[in-house]
Structure 1
């Protein structure tokens, strides 16, 4: 079995929340992983804690390595730097396993339940959530940066946006017009603010009727009283789900209590890590839809367990991506394989602009569905120019085959 010889991390100045991991092995292969948020802290964990334990080990022992990295003496129930680092390593090891066997990852996981996966568009802009500042707030003098500046679009005329998405084959969209109202008082929303937040949903239904599914993202901003008022009002617009409605989504009793009080289906889980937390969430009957992020939850090794839990509880599954191209590819492989998967999230603004500047292949999307990749492993790799980017921060542990620019 080929041993691991090197671990490399790459950070770029224009995407400061993202970090990529490349793992090299004796047989000349390179596996790719990624994670998002706290990139500098993740980098330190990878080189100071994980690399010394990883170098020289057989790369095929994915399960043993993943179990070791996710079961430290001091446990981590949410997706801290340790879990995000472990997630990136796990994805890279699965990428290596698929490449070595000459099969795509969804085949390595046990094969496909489906040959294509419906996608929904998260209506973000071109640089949504990638800078070091907070989330983008749309103000009166904001101007659209292009045809896919969808966050401005849903705040200005969500009906026109829905028509645009339908014309490209999308059958579902996700928006978040309530975020600004949570600032300062997350435990109450006035009837006036509630009406304003509902306006995009009204416009969508007026423009396209029931031809498109709508999801509402609440970004874990609200207390249960305000979230209940929002969710019940959204139910009148037949939203598919309300996502992460309350602060501290790991407060499972509070989430379950909210679910009992609201008529709108709830979605959650992207910020949780490890199969145990998802087991607890499902046992509490807290959500109608399970969302997970493979770069946060522990990688593919944990994600397939979470998918099995969703199946045993008869809950639909939807992998998250509003972060980076590797998260998208990994999520797609899981969605092709997992029995209850119903959607893969995409951001068309990212697909049209900066994702192709980073990786050599992305999912093929036709008429609102992502087709199964055919290349071995993840089916994507960083473009060579990424390593040569001005200001790139590259660190290497072990003995890399080719010395990268630092």
Structure 2
């Protein structure tokens, strides 16, 4: 049945609409009631949690978030469920505003905000499915139908068991052809060649992380600085300027060593330095650092809410805005952050190094947002455990990520996930 309606010709200016028949009015007022919330997590990936939102239409939306899965599970069932079950799933912005304003836990990407993010992603998945369109169309339409990928050079178990902080040695043996964290520590030049052969034109590495623990990130010796620069030298030696290189600093450093690293990287033409200081919400310190160095500054996957990002950009603290839809408040809030980035003429680059549903959500945002320039991917996880969890993954052709064409997010959990022996499934209705 068409939802179109017309104003009766007798309606005067300033008077309420008069519908030609009641069917249009009824169709517009019909609810899509949220009837159930379900969470799923598996012991093999202890940081990941998925949220399914069901409606009385028989639609199921899928969301995801990362870190503190058990805490998020508790928030979903002990706080969120009672707030949104019975509400109209079409009122996404209203639900987002409600969930992003807990009495405590609203500052930063807390368990409350991560839970709200997962629910919001699921609601957009439902909206796309209801109308038979991809999420990038549902949130306002695509500005592009493909976007350049950069490969974050992580390994197969990165972020699964604290491997992201593990010291990589020259003796470590790779687990497969895409064990890129070992590769950038052992032979970054050969890694760059490998990426170019697959069509990637950008890569991200973090060779300075291993030196932060010794001083709590407060100092960095000249000797360690030179060791950290070695992968960048090898990349430029092997491929010249054919590939863009980003440097991730993971919010591990004080202002002084962060400035030392940034200045040293200027000679290698890095595309950005990401999250250079600890406490990336310290806008004044970040803006001061940016004013002192010539490398572009990117931040920050760790922030949440449009207010924090607005303050970041108003202070001219970043050149590139990185947003994670599973941490910042969901696609509703990410879309607002993207609009702020556009108004400040700042590039946008959605984050993914956590899970396949977040990747799909970020991709839809990257296709929609006018100033988006990259979508982060990890070829190690795309080729292995991501595909074991979901039915569809982004298609990458010669380094360009293609727009999903299926309704909603364009992916779903594989049915066998909830049947696994290590699965924890919990429902609220």
Aligned partners of 2:222, 2:161: CA distance in 1, in Å?
Answer: 33
Q: Deviations over 1:28-70 (max 9, x none)?
A: 1110000000100000000000011111111111111110000
Maintained 8 Å contact 1:291/1:317: yes
The aligned residue for residue 94 of structure 2 is 64
1:226 equivalenced with 2:257 (yes/no):
yes
Matched, 1:159 2:189: yes
For 2:358, what is the secondary structure of its paired residue?
A: helix
Q: Which residue of 340, 360, 379 corresponds with 1:309?
A: 340
Structure 1 residues 338-364: Cα deviation after superposition (integer angstroms, max 9, x where no partner): 000000000000000000100000111
Distance 1:315 1:107 in 2: 22
Please say if residues 14 and 131 of structure 1, whose CA atoms lie closer than 8 Å, have aligned partners that are also in contact: no
Does residue 47 of structure 2 align to residue 12 of structure 1?
A: no
For the residue of structure 2 that corresponds to 1:31, the secondary structure is strand
Q: Does 1:271 align with 2:295?
A: no
Deviation at 1:135, TM superposition (A): 2.2
Q: TM-score, normalized by length of structure 1? A: 0.97
SS at match of 2:245: strand
- 1:145–1:133 CA distance, 2 compared to 1 (3 A): closer
Cα distance in structure 2, aligned partners of 1:173 and 1:84: 27
Other-structure match for 1:210:
241
1:47 to 72, 77, 86: 77
TM-score, normalised via structure 2 length:
0.92
Distance 2:116 2:251 in 1: 24
Aligned equivalent of 2:311:
280
- 1:318 is matched with 349
Match of 1:188 among 219, 232, 237: 219
Aligned residues: 398
SS of 2:40's equivalent in the other structure is strand
Q: 2:173 aligns with which of 143, 149, 167?
A: 143
Match of 2:382 in 1: 351
Tell me which residue corresponds to 2:65.
35
Secondary structure at the aligned position of 1:117 is classed as strand
1:241 lines up with 2:272 in the alignment: yes
Gaps of at least 5 residues in structure 1 are: 399-406
Q: Equivalent residue for 2:369?
A: 338
Cα deviations across residues 90-120 of structure 1 (Å, max 9, x unaligned)?
Answer: 0000100110011101101111111101000
Q: Which residue of 2 aligns with 1:93?
A: 123
C-alpha change, 1:132 and 1:233, in structure 2 (3 Å) is closer
Partner Cα separation in structure 2 for residue 274 and residue 307 of structure 1: 11
State the Cα distance separating 1:263 from its structure 2 match.
Answer: 1.4
Deviations 1:217-268 (A, max 9, x none): 0000000000000001001000000000010000110000110111111000
Q: Which has the higher contact order (CA 8 A, sep 6+)?
A: 1
Distance (Å, rounded) in 1 between the aligned partners of 2:167 and 2:400: 30
> How far 1:133 sits from its partner (Å)?
6.6
Q: Distance in 1 between the 2:353 and 2:268 partners? A: 24
SS of residue in 1 equivalent to 2:123: helix
Which of 291, 305, 323 aligns to 2:322? It is: 291
Aligned-partner Cα distance in 2 for 1:195–1:272:
30
* Match status 1:24 vs 2:60: no
Deviations along 1:265-301, whole A, 9 cap, x unmatched? 1000210010000000001110110000000000011
Alignment partner, residue 102 of structure 1: 132
State the alpha-carbon separation in 1 of the partners of residues 192 and 289 from structure 2.
Answer: 29
Work out the CA distance in 1 between the residues paired with 2:311 and 2:135. 28
CA distance, structure 2, for counterparts of residue 366 and residue 304 of structure 1? 26
Note if contact 1:36-1:84 (Cα within 8 Å) is conserved in structure 2. yes
Alignment-derived partner of residue 111 in structure 1: 141
Task: Spell out structure 1 runs of 4+ moving beyond 4 A.
Answer: none
Pick from 242, 249, 255: which aligns with 2:286? Answer: 255
